[in-house]
Copies of this chain bind each other. A is one copy, B any other.
Amino acid sequence: MSKIENKILTDLVYEKLKVMIDDGVLIPGQKINKLELSQMLGVSQTPLNDALSRLAGEKFLEQRSRQGYFVRAFSDEELVALFEMRGALEGMAIRLCCENATADQIEELSDCFEGFIFPLNDKSYMEYVHADKTFHEKLIRYSGNPILWELSRTSGYMIKSNMKGLTRPPEETYPEHMAMIQALKDHDGDKAQQLMIQHHLRSRNVFRSKLKKKEPNIR
């Protein structure tokens, strides 16, 4: 039997704000006007403050002394760092999946990318975006590591790096995903981890090359 929900206002505000960030109602870099926002949500400033602090702890927001809260924006340099982090975490996740995931779960992961025929049309492109997201999410869930799972749901880092669309075209990433799925089926943790790390480092390189083009002008 499911528990009766008896949530606290703070939690409701917290969840609402997270959705607002996810939906782009609150834009990266934007200043949060506490008074305005609390009136908009129909709550006092106290539960809003609590929610804002928590979101700052989770890196969705940034607090600047005496200036208030701002929606966290990631520089190109930080985006590079973000993909390195994801490579690390998801690399470990897929390794653990090789050890812990059931046959059914591996089947499910494999099914994510079933039936794509290239070149993709607009509809199947959208489906690929979705497949990509669920694949990486399920990997974490089936890794059996509760900390990774918690991080993926509550860390602004993980969620924000997942938000923007694809960084590389499906033609490029599809074979990489296939190779990972093969490694999963072979229960080859070392191989799978290597592949996942490479997968994310290649995405990182997209941002890093952007960065390098800028730098010379600054010097």
Contact = CB atoms under 8 A, between A and B. Distances in A.
Interface of A: 6-8, 10-11, 46, 49-51, 53-59, 65-66, 77-78, 81-82, 84-85, 87-89, 91-92, 96, 145-148, 150-151, 154, 157, 190, 193-194, 197
Q: Among the interface residues A6, A10, A85, A147, which one has the most CB atoms of the partner chain B within 10 A?
A: A147
Contacts of A91: 88, 91-92
Contacts of A84: 92, 96, 145, 147-148
Q: How many copies does the complex hold?
A: 2
A92 B85 contact: yes
Contacts of A66: 6, 8
A65 to B, nearest CB: 5
A65 B6 contact: yes
B53 A146 contact: no
